[in-house]
Structure 1
Amino acid sequence: MIPLAGAIALAFAGSAYAEEQIVKIGHVGPVTGPSAHLGKDMENGAKMAIEELNAKGVMLDGKKVKFVLLAEDDASDPKQGTAAAQKLVDAKVNGVIGHLNSGTTIPASKIYFEAGIPQISPAATNPKYTQQGFNSAFRIVANDGQLGGTLGRYAVKTSHAKNIAVIDDRTAYGQGVAQEFSKGAKGAGATIVAEQFTNDKATDFNAILTSIKAKKPDVIFFGGMDAVGGPMLRQMKALGIDAKFMGGDGLCTAELGKLAGDGLIDDHVVCAEAGGVVEKDKKGLDDFKAKFQKQYGTEVKLYAPYSYDAVMTMVDAMQKAKSSDPKKYLPELTKIHHKGVTGDISFDAKGDINEGTLTLYTYKGGKRTILAVTK
């Protein structure tokens, strides 16, 4: 028989336990495959946010909340991405952060929408993601229409390119950003002299680069990721192609220096990252990067601040709704105004970030150097 004092203590403990809510937030990104370094970066940003929220002791409707991150690997593969999405739906997550690639984000978004689960992508930039009419889909970075178009205009107006070659990796992201770049460049008066494609696992580009070399372009634009862009730069140098090399955020990483080796010539690469902060927000992002470095022993690669902000924005909406029920907090997410480490976050009617910033970079001594932050 349990003594009375023990029974009271057990009852109290049971009551306290019952009062604590478990809120499950899913995260999906590639933590295997060629983009694993970017997927892990994104996952760690989300993990940092979850740990901070739990340390803070968030309350929802008078009950303490424990946030749990359910992390899945999609390996940048659409089939694996939809399988991961279904797994999170089956686990009854309250919201999803991800995916990284547009090619996995777009098919997965239908699964989340049908389950009524809000999804915030910290990285996917293909415009189609938010053009499907899914009220559950949001992104906190500028889309390819903004990013590719800005790069296309920059190539002509600032780099004075007249003849441009375009290569893409046939992924939803690569094709999307290349198309928007071409539109922007042509609209500014350039001629597209060559259009070639490869795939996101290719390592040999000699045939397409030799064909492009004959067209004597001023700029070669590549729609794809750094794991392919790095070796491509090496082979451009070996073939004596001195055109400038441009790309979107998938190319624009700290890793590009290692991947391109001696193919990365100073001031020869121009790329853009969706996001970036204006001067007034710089200290907040710098503080985040320092904290991230201390916690994980590695520098932010690219997406960690955006996944961190995506988690915090989602939880901000839950707090405003006083509920982690997707039906209750989704309306708050559509009208949110969240001050994040990457700047002010609010969404338009489609779920795109309002006034998304872009950061233009070049490389000097193998390291990324900011050219400008623009909108």
Structure 2
Amino acid sequence: MASNNKSIAFAAASLLLASQAALAQEQVVKIGITGPLSGANAFAGKDNENGVRLALEELNAKKVSIGGKTIKFELKSEDDQGDPKAGVAVAQKLVDAGVHFVLGPYNSGVAIPASRIYNDAGAIMSTVGTNPKVTQSGYKGVFRIVASDTQLGGSMAGYAAKQLKLKTIGVIDDRTAFGQGIAAEFVKQAKASGITVAGHEFTTDKASDFAAILTKLKSKNIDAIFFGGYAPQGAPMARQMRQLGLNVKLLGGDTLCSPEMAKLGGDAVGDNVLCAQGGAILDKQADGPGFQTRYKARFKQAPDVYAAAFYDQTMFMVQSMKAANSLDPSVVAAAMRASSYKGVVGTYAYDANGNMKQSAVTIYTFKNGAPFALATN
């Protein structure tokens, strides 16, 4: 009996030692995600978060090995409320917690000040903030994973002039870094394409009543309105345009290219609304349908605007960690700039400033309550 007890004890000790050895060979790597997880744009923040979460779950299932250790990726998610002050506080919280790889922010106005916090901490920040200023500080760890306002605004202006044959347009922006940035690029490109900008009005990203500025633009006999802002304002704007008998096109950037726009706008959002979104048409990419199927199975809903881009960038970062055999963010950032990655929704390759070398832009309208692709350039 004593001999049996010794054997059992020895076996238990061996299992414990083996378990401890396995744990010693496992390293936790924290991946941050920051975006508006509350408030009017929470639908976008959660969608982006889901894209990162899906990537990390798939990577953990594959048992990624770097530097001789099995890596366990751990998601650290923070709500920046789409607010610059909150975004800076969240950035500080993440770097204080030892997070060196961050996906987000969603909003340009948050990304611009937060980028300095991440840069000073030597962290990587990968954002969909489209304002050109996001990548103009020379920070080596900042990446814009979609087209910029220059590309989005330019593509929408070109489509308005060439395909829609519009002659006179009114512009509204919400005074956010995103809204101002994309409106300015649209105005510049529209004028260069021969379109007359009859008026430029301003609102806020908290507004819900646009009657006064819409009435003012209506008096100028415009063919369309370009709105630099987000879906929670774009949808009621479309409703109020109809109520005022302002039956012209409503144009916008990527923030209007969401099912949320149709959900909030109802039957006032259809082929009268057009928007420009960075990236190719997901349905038509080789891996697009597979991604959509996995996303729906995991989250019980279809992916929104940028889930696939956040998924792709997460995969690209980890590919670069493996290629460099390093978890040092400066080494990983250098590896990303020196290589490329074919993702679900396109090929990712960055210039010296962290902008995509090439980024398709797709023009969408709405059919049956969902974005419907018209053209990609």
Scaled to the shorter chain, the TM-score interval is over 0.9
Report whether the alignment pairs 1:275 with 2:279. Answer: yes
Question: What is residue 55 of structure 1 aligned with on the other side?
Answer: 61
State the match for 2:150 in structure 1: 145
TM-score by length of 2: 0.95
Matching residue within 71, 85, 107 for 1:79: 85
Partner of 2:172: 167
Report the Cα distance in structure 2 between the residues aligned to 1:365 and 1:12, rounded to whole angstroms: 57
Aligned to 1:196: 201
Matched, 1:23 2:26: no
Tell me the distance in 1 between the aligned counterparts of 2:9 and 2:235: 70
**1:83 alignment partner AA:** A
| Higher Cα Rg, which structure | 2
Match for 1:139: what amino acid?
Answer: R
1:64 maps onto 2:66 in alignment? no
What are the ranges of 5 or more consecutive residues in structure 2 without an aligned counterpart?
1-5
Give distance in 2, aligned partners of 1:261 and 1:313. Answer: 37
Deviates more, 1:174-183 or 1:148-157: 148-157
1:350 paired with 2:356, answer no
Q: Which residue of 2 aligns with 1:46?
A: 52
Deviations 1:207-234 (A, max 9, x none): 1111111011111000011110000000
What is residue 217 of structure 1 aligned with on the other side? 222
Query: Is 1:35 matched with 2:41?
Result: yes
CA deviation after TM superposition for structure 1 residue 105, in Å: 0.9
In the TM superposition, structure 1's runs of 4+ consecutive aligned residues that sit over 3 Å from their partners are: 1-9
Q: Secondary structure at the match of 1:351?
A: coil
Is the CA contact (8 Å cut-off) linking 1:277 and 1:343 kept in structure 2?
no
- In 2, Cα distance between the equivalents of 1:12 and 1:363? 57
Q: For residues 68-127 of structure 1, what are the alpha-carbon distances to aligned partners after superposition, in whole Å with 9 as ceiling and x for unaligned?
A: 010000110111111110011001113111111111111111100011111111x21111
Q: 2:250 aligns with which of 245, 259, 272?
A: 245
- Equivalent pairs: percent with the same residue? 47
- Show structure 1 runs of 5+ residues with no match: none
Aligned to 1:208: 213
**Is residue 331 of structure 1 aligned with residue 334 of structure 2?**
yes
Partner of 1:315 in structure 2? 318
Verify the 8 A CA contact 1:169 1:223 in the aligned structure 2.
yes
**What is the aligned partner in structure 2 of residue 13 from structure 1?**
19
**Aligned counterpart in structure 2 of residue 111 of structure 1, from 111, 117, 120:** 117
Q: CA RMSD in A?
A: 1.5
- Shift of residue 345, structure 1, vs aligned partner: 0.9
- Paired letter, 1:36: A
* Deviation of the 1:286 alpha carbon: 1.6
SS in 1 for 2:285: helix
Q: CA deviation digits over 1:261-280, x for unaligned, max 9?
A: 2322x42111111112488x
Q: Distance in 1 between matches of 2:19 and 2:262?
A: 55
Q: 1:367 to 1:6 in 2, by over 3 A?
A: closer
CA apart distance, 1:312: 0.5
Paired residues of 2:175 and 2:205 also in contact (CA < 8 A): yes
Instruction: Determine the C-alpha separation between the residues in 2 that align with 1:327 and 1:241.
Output: 52
Question: Please, which of 260, 266, 269 is the counterpart of residue 261 of structure 1?
Answer: 266
What TM-score does the superposition give when structure 1 sets the normalisation length?
0.96
Give the secondary-structure state (helix, strand or coil) at the position aligned to 1:165: strand
Displacement of 1:4: 4.3
The SS at the match of 1:283 is: coil
Task: Determine the C-alpha separation between the residues in 2 that align with 1:79 and 1:353.
Answer: 27
Whether the 8 Å contact between 2:258 and 2:370 is mirrored in structure 1 is no
Q: Supply the distance in 2 between the matched residues of 1:305 and 1:314 (Cα, whole angstroms).
A: 14
Relative distance call for 1:38 and 1:216 in structure 2 (3 A) is same
Tell whether the 8 Å contact from 1:277 to 1:357 is kept in structure 2 after alignment: no
Q: Which moves more between the two structures, 295-304 or 358-367? A: 358-367
What are the Cα deviations for residues 14-63 of structure 1, in whole angstroms up to 9, with x where unaligned? 22211101111111011101000010000001000000000000000221
Q: How many residues align?
A: 371
Report deviation, 1:179.
Answer: 0.4
Inter-partner Cα distance in structure 1 for 2:248 and 2:255? 20
